[in-house]
Amino acid sequence: MNSTQQLTVSALAWNGNCLKVLDQRQLPEHIIYDEYTDAKRVAEAIRSMRVRGAPAIGIAAAYAVVLSAKQHYAQTNSAWQKQIAEDIELLAQSRPTAVNLFWALDLMQKAIAQQTGNPISALQTLAEKIHADDIAANHTMGELGADIIGNTKGIMTHCNAGALATGGYGTALGVIRSVYQRGSTKIYAGETRPWLQGARLTVWELAQDAIPATLIADSAAAWLMASGAIEWIVVGADRIAANGDVANKIGTYSLAVLARQHGVKMMVVAPTSTLDGSIANGAEIKIEQRLQSELLPSCYNVENALVDAWNPVFDVTPAHLISAIVTERGVVLNPDKDGVRSLL
Ligand code: MRU
């Protein structure tokens, strides 16, 4: 598949009236698209991870604002701006870590502020642009990342930073797709406990494009690196601070530490919508804690159980453990404050 060909997998589809969302909780067993015409339901789809992955969350939220405008705008309804603002607030509360959500809502909010009359057409044009720009950024990053990696015997990825997590093509998986198209490489995916984005989503998504992949238990990563099988770890990001610290799926930090120990290079691939220049470093990133029930065997999911669970779903990798940050505006090697500033 070359980068201009249509992808087999799409997390989101917009038809002008409704947003179709592939329910990622049901993959890979069931491929079910649900139709959304109500922003509040889209907020719930984000919260419950039917749609997930930082850029896809931002795009879904942008379309949700269009749905909100369609629902609330009427010449006779003087409260429409307030009603849309309430939906935006609900969407902003759906998940805390991925900055793309707040970035997209901010753009939509600014567009609403510029409208005195019917806002629907302007909002729809903007949401479609956010979506199209994300796909274009992914293709650009795919090529830039592949230029850096060149020929390699093996790459490992974590979580799912593919078409399922974005408008299409993917960030980390976009680079991996581009590397694979230029010459074969062995691709390893960590299963990504506890939600299994690697096992349920990444290897499935690659298989849809006939790209072979090898699944490993998260706990096999050190041994994989020690075996010499991989030269790069390539991951996405949920938020990148001004100094280059990166929040991404829990387990990314462990991989970065292991990578340094084994001489493996660490690449983070993210559109500039994932950069958060307003925070100095990763300590300021809010890390989402999800329900204990996502981790605990059901016998412990009872009141007064002696066993509980700690379930942070992201971690922060310090910039000094990262070899390259790839964005659609360019690449920063050995990221630091000056490098990230050059991308903003
Ligand atoms: O909890 P998720 O599945 O939304 O987490 C997704 C990730 O951590 C991805 O690696 C990140 O959003 C980048 S997606 C291009």
Tell me the per-residue pLDDT of 50-73, one tens digit each, with 9 for 90 and over. 999 999 999 999 999 999 999 999
Cα(149) to centroid of ligand 1, in Å? 22
Cα(269) to centroid of ligand 1, in Å? 11
Which band of pLDDT confidence, cut at 50, 70 and 90, is reported for residue 339?
very high
Does the pTM surpass 0.75? The reply is yes
pLDDT of residue 8: 73
Give the span between the Cα atoms of 279 and 114, in whole angstroms: 27
Cα(301) to centroid of ligand 1, in Å? 26
Give the span between the Cα atoms of 244 and 69, in whole angstroms: 36
* Structural domains of the chain in order of their starting residue, each with its CATH number: 12-134 (1.20.120.420), 141-343 (3.40.50.10470)
Minimum-distance ligand 1 atom for the alpha carbon of 100? 12
Which band of pLDDT confidence, cut at 50, 70 and 90, is reported for residue 77?
confident
pLDDT of residue 6: 57
pLDDT of residue 2: 43
Binding-site residues, ligand 1, Cβ < 6 A: 52-55, 98, 159, 161, 165-166, 171, 197, 235-238, 248-249, 313
pLDDT of residue 7: 61
- State which of 158, 238, 313 you would mutate to test the pocket of ligand 1, scoring each by most atoms of that ligand within 8 A of its C-beta: 238
pLDDT of residue 189: 98
| CB-CB contact of 244 with 319 (8 Å) | yes
Cα(100) to centroid of ligand 1, in Å? 11
Give the span between the Cα atoms of 49 and 43, in whole angstroms: 10
pLDDT of residue 1: 40
Model confidence at 296: pLDDT above 50: yes
Model confidence at 293: pLDDT above 50: yes
User: Integer distance in angstroms from the first to the last C-alpha of the chain?
Assistant: 32
pLDDT of residue 273: 97
Model confidence at 110: pLDDT above 90: yes
pLDDT of residue 20: 98
Higher pLDDT, 6 or 239: 239
Active site residues: 238
| Joined tokens for residue 269 | 């691939």
Minimum-distance ligand 1 atom for the alpha carbon of 24? 3
CA distances from 307 to 158, 298, 299 (A): 28, 11, 10
Which band of pLDDT confidence, cut at 50, 70 and 90, is reported for residue 206?
very high
